[in-house]
Structures are given as C-alpha cells and as structure tokens.
Amino acid sequence: MIVIPAIDLRGGRCVRLLQGDFDQETVFGDDPAAMARRWENAGARWLHVVDLDGARAGSPRQADTIAAIVAAVDIPVQVGGGIRTAEDAAQLLKVGVERIVLGTAAVEHPQLLDVLIERYGSERIVLGVDARNGRVATRGWLTTSDVLAGELITTLAKRGVTRVVYTDIERDGTLTAPNFEALEVVARTGVRVIASGGVTRHADLMRLSEIPGVEAAIVGRALYTGDLLLGSAEWEIGAPASADVR
C-alpha cells in the first residue's frame, strides 16, 4: 500500500478543503515546492497535486506552481484539476508531470480520453472519479450527476482506462475513514484503484490493502496534522518488494 501525499493548490498556497467546500479551507503552507520537498524527504514515492482553482474555473490556473513543484523533486507527480483539453494535458506533461488525472473532461467528453490514451498511453492518463453518495460529481465538485461511479468506470474501462483515482467527497478532509464499501465496488470493475478521502490511520491503510485492486492511498489532511506519519505509513502489504504504482 503506497501512501501518496496530496498537495491541493489554491491561490498559490497549499490548502485542504472539508468535503470539497471552498468555504471551508485550511491553509497548510505558502510554498508548495517546499512542501513537495518535505514529503519527498519523508519518503514519498509519488505526489498528487490538485489545481483547485483550475477545477473550479474549467482550465488550469496553477501551471507555474505545478512546474515549480515538479522541478523541486525527483519523484513523479500526478496532477488533476481543470484539465479539459488536449492542450492542457500537453502543457503539464511538457513541464515534467508524470500522470494526468482527467475528471470532468472524461465524463463530459470521453472522446478526449480516447485521444489522450492513444497519444500518451493508459499509464500516463488516469481517470479521476469524485463521488457523492455514489454518484459522480464534476466541475470542482460543484455539480453532482445522476451517473453512478461504478457504471462510469466500467464504461470508460472499455475505452482504455486502467487506473482510477476514486475520491469519496463526503469523507474528504474529515479525518474519519475511507468509504471501504464504495471502494470495494470500484475495485470490482477491474481497474487499478488509488483511494482518496478519509484516510486517517494505519488501520485504514491496512484495510485498504486487503481490497484486491487498491494499490495506493492519497492522504492529505492526516499527514498535515500529524495524525499519520509518512515515514511509518508507506509500506507494501502482500506485494513483492519491487511492486510499484507506475
């Protein structure tokens, strides 16, 4: 089970939202590149960066900050938030982003997903599914559709998706626990799953590791508050030492 620190960007700062609510923001740092180095030095093998401003606006807003983060570390970085065109993806990949997380665009314009997977491969294009009560939310979590998360993932897997970042909005930033039942449903679709939302303690990671197909967990608030320590949290259970999430 790989722990991936989250760096959520808003106005050039590192923040965490409660359940995706832009009015419930906690600032954890004014230097995202320094924060990235902090997590790398603590042993992180990946970083998960979200452009919150971009997610809300519908196009990337933190490109320079993301480029600075990528330049500051030697570990791979995956980025989501506001990526709605092939040009958006190309610009981020050009500055060294390893993986693109496509959410709203994948739901509303799946043909873009086809283009990007064909161009860059399924290892570099990841589906981002944010769910509220099991239904897919888009546009910075401001809009909730009638589409069931499991059905969407199954449909898009047929178009070449092999990995999904699944975020349970109601658990995100709450320091409670992941929605294990929902993750089990997602994992049964056959794609590799990166779980996000609610991871707080080692017991959460242990239980996630027991769900076949869940390969990693994105952790935000629990790392920033010290509820979970990265150095002692990043381990692999039931997997060979050479296992990776690439």
Catalytic residues: 8, 130
CB 7 within 8 A of CB 14: yes
Count other C-beta atoms under 10 Å from residue 142's C-beta: 11
Rg of the chain over all Cα atoms, to the nearest angstrom: 16
Antiparallel, parallel or unpaired: β 2-10 and 214-219: parallel
Measured between alpha carbons, how far is 237 from 79 in angstroms, rounded to an integer? 26
- The residue whose two tokens read 């359940």 is 19
CB 177 within 8 A of CB 195: no
**Residues 6 or more apart from 233 whose CB is under 8 A from it?**
3, 202, 205, 219
Count other C-beta atoms under 10 Å from residue 87's C-beta: 11
Give the start-end residues of each E strand in 160-236.
163-168, 192-196, 214-219
Measured between alpha carbons, how far is 202 from 200 in angstroms, rounded to an integer? 7
